[in-house]
Amino acid sequence: MTTSKKKTVFLAAVLILVLAAAIAVDAALPSYHIVIKVIKKGTVYALVAVSMNLLNGFTGLFSLGQAGFMLLGAYAYGVLTIPVAKRISVYQYFDGGAIQFSLPEIFESFLGKTVGTTVGMLLALLVGGLLAALMAWLIGLPVLRLKSDYLAIATLGFAEILRAFFQWNALGPITNGSNLLKSYPDFEHATSYIILAGLMIAFIVLLINSTYGRAFKAIRDDEVAAEAMGINLAKHKRMAFIISSFFAGIGGGMLAMYNGTIAAAPFKSAMTYEILLIVVIGGIGSITGSILASYLYIFSAEWLLRGLDSGKFLFINAPAVFKNGFRMVVLSVIIMCIVLFFRKGLMGDKELPDLLGRRPKARNKEVVGK
Amino acid sequence: MQQILPYIINGISVGGQYALIAIGYTLVYGILRLINFAHGDVFMVAGLVMVYATTAMPIYAAVPLVLVVTVALGFVIERAAYKPLRTAPRMSVMISAIGVSYLIQNLAFYVTGGVPQPVTNPIPWISENVEILGASTKRVTLVTPALTIVLVIALVYLINHTKIGMAMRAAAKDFETAQLMGIKINAVISMTFVIGSFLAAVGAMLYFTNYPSVAITSGGMPGLKAFVAAVFGGIGSIPGAVVGAFIIGLCEELIKGVGYTTFSDAFTFALLIVVLCVKPTGLFGEKVTDKV
Amino acid sequence: MSANVLKVENVTMQFGGVVAVDNMNLEVNEGEIVALIGPNGAGKTTAFNVITGVYQPTNGAVWFQGEKIVENHPQGKMKKLYKGQNDGTYTHVLAPTPDKITQMGMARTFQNIRLWKSQTVFDNVLIAKHCRTHTNFLSAALRLNRKEEAAQRAHVEELLKTVGLYDVKDELATSLPYGKQRRLEIARALATEPKLLLLDEPAAGMNPQETDELTAFIGEIRDKFKLTVFLIEHHMDLVMDISDRIYVLDFGKLIADGTPEEIQNNQRVIDAYLGVAEDA
């Protein structure tokens, strides 16, 4: 009991610290500052990585459809929040588009500026999540019957179909075809991102530690045994798929928010790969691992290794080598080293608070039997 | 007929190019049960090397160079990224493949500076225009299917009538037993990567002749489509991959012909999902059952 | 005689050309311990897999507590083979997945232990309680099901005490010695609150002392949880000790059934086990 209490206190302390730091950073720095940007993007990636981990790490379903669900969330957010007055310029090739309302503006009219806009934005995110969940529900039934690598390729293919669909000119009045969606609102403060993503990650953690989460883990460990013990495989796999997609959709909406523009092109398989690799770096089956890895990855890619792209890094001046793209080469080499030599990633399947308490006794015992 | 004929000819040609890539997937999957996500990127690298090599040296030196570099790349990928994970769970190997794909794309971005490299008539002979049944097309559209069929026949001969071919069949049937029977499994696996990369290099040289440039993402789509072809034909089966590739190439070009270019990619994946759900073993695949 | 809990009716299981189970008929009555024995490869586990819904039988039906739960009518080749016998009896296919059958009140263990490897002993049993939860995922995640969760945890602790694994409840399941892993599998099956317990070689790999303990244990849990037990076993001591009745399977066919004494003296059973020259 004491260990579990200690863990809770530790977790609470970390959360308060993070929140305090975020508020302080928000107060001290302007919103375009690189630190704020790194925190925002890292937070979005943390949410998306955790949602992918729920499926790939905890349920053992190797799905590569993440980018597709994020795309849905991103478009839903953009389409629903662009101010009506700006639609004519955004949808310039489609006569201002088919949709002539904006959720933040609707709520603004009776809830006031700050509250109304926030509610509208949150609602748009929620719609994106629900759309992604609906899509997951639709394709889940046929696709989830497939075994490991077939599932991977089918979900990857699904994401590609979705991308083609959103670039289709006939849908232009809604999606703006292959043109950008822009001019929609964003949360100014990194704290808003952290609270929003934090709440959702907290929900996922609670779910994983609930009876349903345990059922997911049982499916991952041994499907046959899980089914024999009364766990409905189809239902639970689908549930994990839908929940994961829901949060991926919201994550996609938040990514759109952060980026300021939406196009279908970036939501390709490379994005899914990136997120998957973050999950691997953090440790497949560790939530805190995914979160840490997300921040670490974004921090390295956007800031720490920036010099590798612009000629100067750690006081070494070599413009011939350190040119555009070198930082991603370095990052992917590091990732490959982790994939090959540190397969457990940062955290293995443990969580940060676990490092405090004792491990399950058996860890350092000989394994008897097989 | 006159209107769709060019699309049919094109379709057969594209199908041949897909077939050359698809064989790489199917061979590797047959033995390692691994979807080699990096194969499409190997294909892209072959295209880049072709662009660089043909501008720097005469054609008779450039073509062999492209083949050698691509084969070496395939070999190195297997040794560096897949061999260390021989005993690891399948998921780890798949992740490694995805990591390699990511690495190659980033490397290519670094080398090219992110700028698509223009393809300027690399191999003049196959780019010449010829007339066929009243339709004008590049010679490559005729060369591709012929070359594909010759290569496939050679490959089938290799697999059915040589020692290394027998070893490959044995390894595909039962990896562990083959190993116990004294087959040098690593040599066999390297061989499959060498063959796969070689065919991908040939495919790349034919494929990119038809395109204005090679970009770092150019490998992704044809790679995935070739993979779909391999699944459609029944993964692990060479004739399956070839037939699947031709069917997909044809359908795609016909869809373009009807005017739905946006959906020619989507069609391939819709086909994939349908095939996987209806008949996961594909046209010619073997049935695998799990033991309880 | 009390009502039968399990009835297997004309069940045939064919894999391609191999007939693994050939027209099997058997009954297990309430409160009984019944054993299914036979040489290796006789089709015992296949029979279990049909009963628990892992395989859909090529032909035949399974009844559980007076209700037909699995049924398949003859198809294709089988149609000729079984025509006449049950012609027209089976009109539809009933093929629930294993989880449905478990929820009906049948639970099993596996011949090659299948515990959830990354989970502790306690969690292995707790997960098996999942099929008896009534909360949806939202209230479970938001912890609105504390009462149910607490009751389940209490039940699991009690179960672990009954099977003697309470002191190792926080260890990883796979770190237990073999015998205890088998007990854990039984505890896990019991957690699903079954009426009928199917044990697939529960004593495999156990030494004589452990086997004796297991024999007593199976009797105990039968009485304590008011179970009916159907088991596959190779340890004849155990089988003869605890079984009320025994069925003998050879090459997919039932060749004998009866009390342990009857089976011990049955010439066909002896032949099947010792082998008999074809021309003798």
The shortest CB-CB distance from A160 to any of B91, B265, B280 is to B265
Best mutation target among A339, A341, A342, A344 (most B Cβ atoms within 10 Å) is A339
d(CA A92, CA A179): 9
Contact between residue C74 and residue C23 where contact means Cβ atoms under 8 Å apart: no
Cross-chain residue pair A277–B98, CB shorter than 8 Å: yes
> Interface pTM (ipTM) of the complex?
0.88
The shortest CB-CB distance from A227 to any of C98, C117, C191 is to C98
3-state secondary structure C96-123: CCHHHHHHHCEEECCCCCCCCCCCEHHH
Residues in C 15-74 with any Cβ partner in A closer than 8 A: 52, 54
How far is the CA of A242 from the CAs of A126, A131, A246, in angstroms? 14, 10, 6
Contact between residue A222 and residue A154 where contact means Cβ atoms under 8 Å apart: no
3-class SS at C250?
strand
Residues of C whose CB is below 8 A from A349: 118
What residue spans define the domains of chain A? Answer: 35-264
- Counting Cβ atoms within 10 Å, is residue C70 exposed (0-12), middle (13-18) or buried (19+)? buried
d(CA A185, CA A86): 12
Q: What angle do CA A243, A245, A250 make, to 5 degrees?
A: 100
What does pLDDT average to in each consecutive run of 10 residues of chain A (370 residues)?
75 88 88 89 96 94 94 95 88 83 87 88 96 94 81 86 84 85 88 93 94 95 94 94 97 95 89 93 92 93 76 68 80 90 84 64 37
Give how far the C-alpha of residue C171 lies from the chain's centroid of Cα atoms, to the nearest Å: 26
- Give the pLDDT score at A368: 35
Question: Cβ of A189: how many Cβ atoms within 10 Å?
Answer: 18
3-class SS at A3?
helix
How far is the CA of C121 from the CAs of A46, A219, B172, C31, C118, in angstroms? 32, 16, 39, 28, 10
d(CA B132, CA B142): 9
Which of these ranges, A341-355, B76-90, B222-236, C249-263, has the smallest mean pLDDT?
Answer: A341-355
- Cβ-Cβ contacts under 8 Å for B132 (sequence gap 6 or more): B9, B142
Structural domains present in chain C: 1-104+244-280 (3.40.50.300)
- Give the pLDDT score at A365: 37
Residue in this structure with the two tokens 């199976």, named with its chain if needed = C218
Q: Taken in order A103, A105, A110, A111, is the CA torsion positive or negative?
A: positive
Which one, of A216, A242, A318, lies nearest residue A51 by Cα? Answer: A242
Residues in B 210-239 with any Cβ partner in A closer than 8 A: 217, 220, 224, 227-228, 231
- Give the pLDDT score at A321: 67
Q: How many CB pairs under 8 A join A and B?
A: 133
User: Between B39-56 and B59-77, two packed helices, what is the crossing angle to 10 degrees?
Assistant: 150
Cross-chain residue pair B280–A274, CB shorter than 8 Å: no
Q: What is the DSSP letter of A295?
A: H
Q: In chain C, which stretches have pLDDT less than 50?
A: 1, 76-80, 83-84, 90, 279-280
- Whether the model pTM is above 0.80: yes
How far is the CA of A136 from the CAs of A158, B130, B199, B275, C149, in angstroms? 10, 49, 37, 19, 29
Q: What is the DSSP string of B215-280?
A: -TTTTHHHHHHHHHHHHHH-TT-HHHHHHHHHHHHHHHHHHHHHT-THHHHHHHHHHHHHHHHH-T
- Give the pLDDT score at C32: 92
3-class SS at A348?
coil
Amino acid, single-letter form, for residue B116: P
Contact between residue B236 and residue B286 where contact means Cβ atoms under 8 Å apart: yes
- Give the pLDDT score at B6: 79
Question: How far is the alpha carbon of B143 from chain A, nearest alpha carbon, in Å?
Answer: 30
How far is the CA of A316 from the CAs of A302, A304, A310, C234, in angstroms? 19, 14, 11, 73
Residues in C 148-177 with any Cβ partner in A closer than 8 A: 149, 152, 170-172, 174-177
Which one, of A221, A185, A173, lies nearest residue A103 by Cα? Answer: A185
Best mutation target among C45, C50, C104, C127 (most A Cβ atoms within 10 Å) is C127
The shortest CB-CB distance from A325 to any of B85, B110, B224 is to B110
What count of Cα atoms within 13 Å lies in the side-chain half-sphere of residue B75? Answer: 12
What proportions of chain A, in percent to the nearest 5, are helix, strand and coil?
70, 0, 25
Cross-chain residue pair B33–A149, CB shorter than 8 Å: yes
Contact between residue A40 and residue A190 where contact means Cβ atoms under 8 Å apart: yes
Contact between residue B34 and residue B90 where contact means Cβ atoms under 8 Å apart: yes
Amino acid, single-letter form, for residue C230: F
Element (H, E) at C245: strand C245-250
- Give the pLDDT score at A215: 96
Amino acid, single-letter form, for residue A238: R
- Cβ-Cβ contacts under 8 Å for B238 (sequence gap 6 or more): B23, B26, B27, B152, B155, B156, B159
Q: Note the maximum CA span of chain A.
A: 71
Supply the mean pLDDT for chain B: 85
- Give the pLDDT score at A367: 36
Q: How confident is the model at residue B256 (pLDDT cuts 50, 70, 90)?
A: confident
Best mutation target among C133, C175, C198 (most A Cβ atoms within 10 Å) is C175
Q: What is the DSSP string of B50-67?
A: HHHHHHHS-HHHHHHHHH
Cross-chain residue pair A145–B263, CB shorter than 8 Å: no
Q: Does B280 touch chain A (CB under 8 A)?
A: yes
C102-154 pLDDT, tens digit per residue, is 999 999 999 999 999 999 999 999 999 999 998 899 999 998 989 999 999 99
- Give the pLDDT score at B262: 72
- Give the pLDDT score at A361: 42
Buried b (16+ CB within 10 A) or exposed e, C188-222: bbbbbbbbbbbbbbbbbebeeebbbbbbebbeebb
Contact between residue A179 and residue A93 where contact means Cβ atoms under 8 Å apart: yes
Beta pairing partners, A262:
A181
Q: What is the DSSP letter of B285?
A: P
- Cβ-Cβ contacts under 8 Å for A206 (sequence gap 6 or more): C141, C142, C143
d(CA A8, CA B112): 50
Q: What is the DSSP string of C50-102?
A: HHTTSS--SEEEEEETTEEEEEE---HHHHHHHTTTSTTT--S-B---HHHHH
Residues of C whose CB is below 8 A from A214: 119, 123, 126-127, 130
What count of Cα atoms within 13 Å lies in the side-chain half-sphere of residue C94? Answer: 16
Cross-chain residue pair C128–A239, CB shorter than 8 Å: no
Beta pairing partners, B131:
B136
Which one, of A368, A287, A297, lies nearest residue A330 by Cα? Answer: A297
- Counting Cβ atoms within 10 Å, is residue B85 exposed (0-12), middle (13-18) or buried (19+)? buried
What proportions of chain B, in percent to the nearest 5, are helix, strand and coil?
75, 5, 20
Beta pairing partners, C8:
C26, C62
Q: What is the DSSP string of B119-140?
A: ---SSHHHHSEEEETTEEEETH
Contact between residue B171 and residue B189 where contact means Cβ atoms under 8 Å apart: yes
Element (H, E) at B117: strand B117-118
Q: Does A331 touch chain B (CB under 8 A)?
A: yes
d(CA B231, CA B245): 10
Element (H, E) at B48: helix B39-56
Per-residue tokens: A310: 């612009």
Per-residue tokens: C1: 């005689």
